[in-house]
Amino acid sequence: MAALLPEFEYDIFISYRHNDNLFDGWVTEFVARLQEELAATIKERLSIYFDKDRTDGLGDTHMVGPSLAHRLRSFILIPLISQTYCDTTRFSWQHEFLPFLQQASADRLGLHLRLPSGNVGCRILPLRIHNLDATDVQLLEHTMGGPLRTIDFVYQDLGVNRPLRAKDDELPRPTGGLLYRNQINKVANAIKELVAAAKQQSAPAATTPVAPGLQDAPAWAPPAAPVSEATPTAPVASAPPVAARANGPVVFLAWTSKELAARREELALVCTKAGLHVVPTSDCPLDENEFRLRTQEALASAVCALHLLGNEFGRRFEDDDECSFPMFAYQEARRVAGSRPAFRQFVWYCPDEALAVKPAQKAFVNTIRNELTEQCTFTNAPSAMQLVEDLRSSLRQAAPPAAVIEKETDIFFVFNEMDLEEANAITDRLSEEFPLEILTIEPDSEDLYKDITVRAIPKSKLAVVYFKHSAGWALPFVKQVWRLVGGAGSTTPILFVGEDDPVLNRMHGFKAPKVISRIQPHLGVSEEVRRVFQQLNLPA
């Protein structure tokens, strides 16, 4: 029976170790019950390849591997992960699991699919039939490039490690034990979602919906400057024609260390819904040279690069132990930015605060912070949605700047009413030297103070957002205002300055292009404003 999609031989390929079917025919029964469940779940009939006997249909002179290769051209692979499956020397691993992983990553659909629910599903659907050794879990996670997610068929009882059987549903269950019937249903439902996703991807393209909060997508234009000619040591492919870019501006979303794989999937989805086209779309290559080449090819077509960094340093190169895959991607993007003024980099640092950051990763992050430029933004955004909003705001500023706005005052000084006494003392000292415009934010005021601020900042040579007791207000305020006045494209720098008492103020910094973040003692605030103004070579 043919597969639903014409490019595949079968819809589902069952990969397993034959010794897991010898004792009680567990695999044979599973396949039979799965077929029954699929028939009751999916309207179309799905084809399943399951070799009851490894030599089934093969003559004495036939080669097993090549004879099974065409059958491996399936839409979904279901590996039955047992205590003996994760053996890199065995047939099921070498000739079924790994080849499917590689070919699915490279075919039209890709290994991962956007499900109708908005989540992401994998065409490898692992079922766990034994409790696994830690080394087996590590091998699977390393090979698949992310945390292991399985549907379990393990009988749950103290001291027992065997597959769950259908007849176990009729016996008294251990507390919290699984029902075989429910697990079979979960498998069928997961397959149904993947089939729907494949049909959706194969259908004619429709207008991409925009995520809530990101409706005001600008009309995007390609970079004015062409990609520079590649150097012999670091080849960069030419950017494709703009017409080939299906979903708006191209964003290079760097492959991450495995603990951030799920967050990368989420971020890719948010970018797509916001009208951005994410590359690369496939899983991270296992081969190091292929990784380098595909990273450079993806960067060549992108207008910006997005890097996710967490606690782990990531996979290291065999020929360069001090460089990880994420570090290489960052360095390549930085090189591209050096030759393309309109190119932007965004580094999202999102470590798990409950875990320690590895020393190599900590050093890498510090290096990035120390070499920030106007083309590179370092952020601790609380969510993917917020990050993409910031990214779009910065990209919008890459367009040719609007007409220059005449500066009407030297310093626009903003503070919260909570800091009235200290702010008055500081502005009194500054007013002796600079023309000032002062805005006091009243927490209960009905004034549209953000609108006032956004209108006033472009007319000033320097904007100052000051805080002492109002740190909780100041940080989100300056982030919002920075985006509204143009982010990296603003014509007015912002000095975000707070006092060092209370000491918790030291944790309220904001690093971004055109923003200078400082913490000073009270008497040093006015001097810091004066120093920054003079350093920017702004005539008083």
- Residue-by-residue pLDDT tens, the chain, 540 positions: 668 888 888 999 999 999 999 888 999 999 999 999 999 999 999 999 988 765 444 444 445 555 566 778 899 999 999 999 999 888 889 889 999 988 888 888 888 888 888 788 899 999 999 999 989 998 998 888 778 889 999 998 888 999 999 999 888 876 667 899 999 999 999 999 999 999 887 665 444 444 444 444 333 333 333 333 333 333 333 333 333 334 478 899 999 988 898 889 888 888 888 888 889 988 888 889 889 988 988 898 889 999 999 999 999 999 888 999 999 999 999 988 888 888 999 999 999 888 999 999 999 999 999 888 888 999 988 888 888 888 887 776 654 444 556 788 999 999 999 999 999 999 999 999 999 999 998 876 645 677 788 889 999 999 999 999 999 889 888 888 887 787 776 889 999 999 999 988 988 888 877 899 999 999 999 999 999 998 886 555
Facing residues of 252 across strands?
A: 279, 305
**3-state SS, residue 304:** strand
The whole-angstrom separation of Cα 237 and Cα 243 is 17
Place of tokens 């069952």: 14
Contact 168, 155 (CB under 8 A): yes
Two tokens at 467? 């805080």
Facing residues of 278 across strands?
A: 251
Say what the alpha-carbon torsion angle 243, 246, 248, 253 is, to the nearest 10 degrees. -120
The whole-angstrom separation of Cα 371 and Cα 159 is 55
**3-state SS, residue 530:** helix
Residue type, 222: P
pTM for the model: 0.42
DSSP category for residue 234: B
Mention every residue, 6+ apart, whose C-beta is less than 8 A from residue 347. Answer: 307, 309, 330, 368, 376, 377, 378, 379
Mention every residue, 6+ apart, whose C-beta is less than 8 A from residue 307. Answer: 254, 326, 329, 330, 333, 345, 346, 347, 348
The whole-angstrom separation of Cα 208 and Cα 469 is 45
Two tokens at 246? 């299906």
CA 103 to chain centre: 23
Contact 44, 4 (CB under 8 A): yes
Mention every residue, 6+ apart, whose C-beta is less than 8 A from residue 228. Answer: 236, 339, 340
